[in-house]
Chain A
């Protein structure tokens, strides 16, 4: 009897197990919820920016059953291709990975999907781990979140420790300029250091080195360097605006005395630059600094990565990082006067804001696209991306700064210094975001063409910036002053007029 019962029970148990296994099997298939779905991701040509997508897509495909098709283009073609696809409703790309500055153009026209609800329901993204400045300022438009930040963009200042901290050079510098040689706190000090270390072999490698290396080429990301230089001259702490427009009138401020002074400085810096610097884009700046030709440089986090991890680097361990230099005089656009500061006024610049992932509002696979973005930008994969060579992604999450093991494994000699400078930049109370309003590409093209003319000596800084301001006014008129004003105010966190 017992045997029979046991047998009967055994059968029941087996049936139940089979049913459970079936259910489990069914759930496993159900978990692969994007089986048969292919999403298209569009971004920059590999390696930079496309590489993280290439690194994680196989894992996501395995996890979800979906497929990821990657389409890439050179940098200069990204914005026009994204915009034309969105405009025509072509559904060419489910996900567009572009820079935050384009978000306003796309969001204001309803081209991309608001992600607030997805993010609120997402248990894996760890949204609050993303640094507040990227979470709140570069991924939002008009109060809604439209993008997942994948990269933290900000300009850092780099200097050669073996030059600036060398006691022999410090003594000579003090004898010549009358103050101690140290990493520059102001743009005036930066100029003196550039002059002092220009065109002689101060590192003993048998070649001449130069005072500074910065991009100055049209369409070579020169304008970001300019705005980094201009920011402390025109940004009074606590005062909105000043760098681009007057948030009360939308009057361009790029020709204010603060801007003119910054451009005069930049034109002068050309004299202390690596030969040919006027034709450098940011890629060349990184390469030249990495092989040890410059004493000071401005760049995103990329130089830090290259000098520590590139096989070509000759300066690993000899590079210092800091917040961008500042000024002791600041132009107050409201009072129309220079204000003297007792302490140095720093105004770090979130150049370009960072790379963000956006989803086409016309996509047939919005849910799958969001899931992939969350997987790509989540804490695990984003940490791998920022600590892997040639991804182009820089730290943007709190956890990126806390776990140092990955940075040492990556090849960094001094990750605390590098991450410390980034953290100090991002967390600075006077940090300035990049322009994020519709037509940003037009404003940028117009001002950059004028900046390079001043650098080439074809116009004075005042003439160039006056012409830039005139063009900015024309663009604003063209796009609608009132609309632009309110969107600009929104981007600064101010209420609409």
Chain B
């Protein structure tokens, strides 16, 4: 019985066997050292990402076209566009969508304007600059839930300090969290308080990266303060501004913690946003299919807004460069 390869005699078989093993080894080593090496090294990461991100993403996407049943264990049946049709007919969805965009469309511009103003101020050589930089960043470091509780207590109608102070100066305190008209502005106020520091941080970094020569040259040419800002600083700050606004817009569309704590989406559903709505249906009522549909509709909105934003940004940069 030969121990070599196939029917070859023993010594030759052994030689061929060794040669075969070497070829296999070369192929394996080649995969790690040749042109394909990059792909091989990337493979574990790609698999990891696919499993951890794409699978849940695709699974929840499939749920939007399904009906989930718990009877006799978890089962999912195809339900076509039923969930999507239900979503578009649901007045609560349109209310949540409108509230989400209302909060984002006011909070983000205010945060940007305040952040920019503070960044310009703190970029100057002023006394106590380091102290103020740390002070202004503090709200951002707090957990949104803690911020929610803090503002809920501040806005308390009978025992909160804000209305107490307003009363002392003879002003009627508004119903911060209990009026359907005012509650969204109260949420915006808390959001601006917490996230203006992020704008400040990014824009401060942006200001620091503007070459001093540009500013000096503009000054030598006799540019006024406004002209310097309008034609030099603001355009050069555009990349940082874009990043800051886009980041905050995406995060703002997903706002949940503060609202959940401050108003619970109320009074009624007057401050219910998409995430609070999705959480209520998906997690409290455990209607997983409908909850996923709500979550995906938010995802589509974020995607569309991001694309529009990128397209507008590109156009803005082209105009500015011209």
Interface residues of A (CB under 8 A from B): 76-77, 79-80, 83, 87-88, 105, 108-110, 216-220, 274-279, 281, 293, 438, 441-442, 444-446, 449, 452-458, 478, 480, 483
Whether A441 contacts B267 by the Cβ 8 Å rule is no
Whether B178 contacts A279 by the Cβ 8 Å rule is yes
Q: A276-B157, A278-B267 are in contact. Are A441 and B178 (CB under 8 A)?
A: no
- Bound Cα distance from A88 to B158, whole angstroms: 47
Question: Which stretch from B67-75, B108-116, B220-228, B294-302 is at the chain A interface?
Answer: B67-75
Whether A458 contacts B283 by the Cβ 8 Å rule is no
- Identify the closest chain B residue to A446 (Cβ): B285
Whether B266 contacts A276 by the Cβ 8 Å rule is no
Besides A274-B158, A278-B266, A441-B285, 5 other CB < 8 A contacts?
A: A87-B70, A108-B71, A445-B280, A445-B284, A449-B269
Whether A449 contacts B286 by the Cβ 8 Å rule is no
Q: A218-B265, A279-B177, A456-B268 are in contact. Are A109 and B71 (CB under 8 A)?
A: yes
Q: Which interface residue of B92, B264, B265, B266 has the most chain A CB atoms within 10 A?
A: B266
Q: Nearest Cβ in chain A — how far from B194, in angstroms?
A: 20
Question: A220: which of B180, B264, B283 is its contact (CB, 8 Å)?
Answer: B264
Q: Which interface residue of B72, B73, B92, B178 has the most chain A CB atoms within 10 A?
A: B178
Tell me whether chain A's interface is mostly helix, strand or loop, or mixed.
Answer: helix
Whether B266 contacts A77 by the Cβ 8 Å rule is no
* Chain B residues whose CB sits within 8 angstroms of the CB of A453 once the complex forms: 268-269
Q: Nearest Cβ in chain A — how far from B128, in angstroms?
A: 39
Whether B178 contacts A219 by the Cβ 8 Å rule is no
Question: A278: which of B178, B269, B284 is its contact (CB, 8 Å)?
Answer: B178
Q: A281-B264, A453-B268 are in contact. Are A87 and B74 (CB under 8 A)?
A: yes
- Identify the closest chain A residue to B262 (Cβ): A279
Question: A77: which of B158, B178, B283 is its contact (CB, 8 Å)?
Answer: B283
Whether A442 contacts B285 by the Cβ 8 Å rule is yes
- Identify the closest chain B residue to A217 (Cβ): B264
- Bound Cα distance from A135 to B263, whole angstroms: 38
Question: A452: which of B175, B266, B284 is its contact (CB, 8 Å)?
Answer: B266
* Chain B residues whose CB sits within 8 angstroms of the CB of A455 once the complex forms: 267-268
Q: Nearest Cβ in chain A — how far from B275, in angstroms?
A: 14
Whether A276 contacts B264 by the Cβ 8 Å rule is no
Q: Does B270 contact A (CB under 8 A)?
A: yes
Tell me whether chain B's interface is mostly helix, strand or loop, or mixed.
Answer: loop
Question: A276: which of B67, B175, B269 is its contact (CB, 8 Å)?
Answer: B175
Q: Does B156 contact A (CB under 8 A)?
A: yes
Question: A478: which of B67, B92, B270 is its contact (CB, 8 Å)?
Answer: B67
Whether B269 contacts A109 by the Cβ 8 Å rule is no
Q: A279-B178, A446-B285 are in contact. Are A218 and B70 (CB under 8 A)?
A: no
Whether B270 contacts A458 by the Cβ 8 Å rule is yes
Q: How many residues of B contact A (CB 8 A)?
A: 30
A-contact bits for B64-91, CB 8 A (1 contact / 0 none): 0001001111100000000000000000
Question: A458: which of B67, B156, B180, B285 is its contact (CB, 8 Å)?
Answer: B180
- Bound Cα distance from A351 to B180, whole angstroms: 29
Question: B286: which of A219, A293, A442, A456 is its contact (CB, 8 Å)?
Answer: A442
* Chain B residues whose CB sits within 8 angstroms of the CB of A438 once the complex forms: 70-71
Q: How many contacts between A and B, using CB within 8 angstroms?
A: 100
Q: Does B287 contact A (CB under 8 A)?
A: yes
* Chain B residues whose CB sits within 8 angstroms of the CB of A279 once the complex forms: 177-178, 263-264, 266-267
A-contact bits for B42-80, CB 8 A (1 contact / 0 none): 000000000000000000000000010011111000000
Whether A76 contacts B267 by the Cβ 8 Å rule is no
A-contact bits for B145-172, CB 8 A (1 contact / 0 none): 0000000000011100000000000000
Whether B264 contacts A442 by the Cβ 8 Å rule is no
* Chain A residues whose CB sits within 8 angstroms of the CB of B71 once the complex forms: 108-109, 438, 480, 483
Lowest 4 A-B CB distances belong to which pairs?
Answer: A456-B268, A445-B285, A275-B157, A456-B267
Q: Does B281 contact A (CB under 8 A)?
A: yes
Whether B285 contacts A109 by the Cβ 8 Å rule is no
- Identify the closest chain A residue to B82 (Cβ): A478
* Chain B residues whose CB sits within 8 angstroms of the CB of A87 once the complex forms: 70, 73-74
Q: A79-B286, A276-B177, A276-B178 are in contact. Are A458 and B268 (CB under 8 A)?
A: yes
- Identify the closest chain A residue to B79 (Cβ): A478
* Chain A residues whose CB sits within 8 angstroms of the CB of B178 once the complex forms: 275-279
Q: Nearest Cβ in chain A — how far from B285, in angstroms?
A: 4
* Chain B residues whose CB sits within 8 angstroms of the CB of A83 once the complex forms: 70, 286
* Chain A residues whose CB sits within 8 angstroms of the CB of B70 once the complex forms: 83, 87, 105, 109, 438
Question: B266: which of A79, A88, A218, A444 is its contact (CB, 8 Å)?
Answer: A218
Residues of chain B in range 270-316 having any CB-CB distance to chain A below 8 Å: 270, 272, 280-281, 283-287
- Bound Cα distance from A452 to B180, whole angstroms: 12
Q: Nearest Cβ in chain B — how far from A136, in angstroms?
A: 26
- Bound Cα distance from A105 to B73, whole angstroms: 11
Question: B158: which of A105, A218, A293 is its contact (CB, 8 Å)?
Answer: A293
Residues of chain B in range 104-153 having any CB-CB distance to chain A below 8 Å: none
- Identify the closest chain B residue to A89 (Cβ): B73
* Chain B residues whose CB sits within 8 angstroms of the CB of A281 once the complex forms: 264
* Chain B residues whose CB sits within 8 angstroms of the CB of A110 once the complex forms: 72
* Chain A residues whose CB sits within 8 angstroms of the CB of B268 once the complex forms: 218, 452-458
Whether B180 contacts A219 by the Cβ 8 Å rule is no
- Identify the closest chain B residue to A210 (Cβ): B158
Question: B156: which of A105, A108, A218, A276 is its contact (CB, 8 Å)?
Answer: A276
* Chain B residues whose CB sits within 8 angstroms of the CB of A109 once the complex forms: 70-73
- Identify the closest chain A residue to B272 (Cβ): A218
Q: Nearest Cβ in chain A — how far from B31, in angstroms?
A: 38
Question: A456: which of B73, B270, B283, B285 is its contact (CB, 8 Å)?
Answer: B270
* Chain A residues whose CB sits within 8 angstroms of the CB of B156 once the complex forms: 276
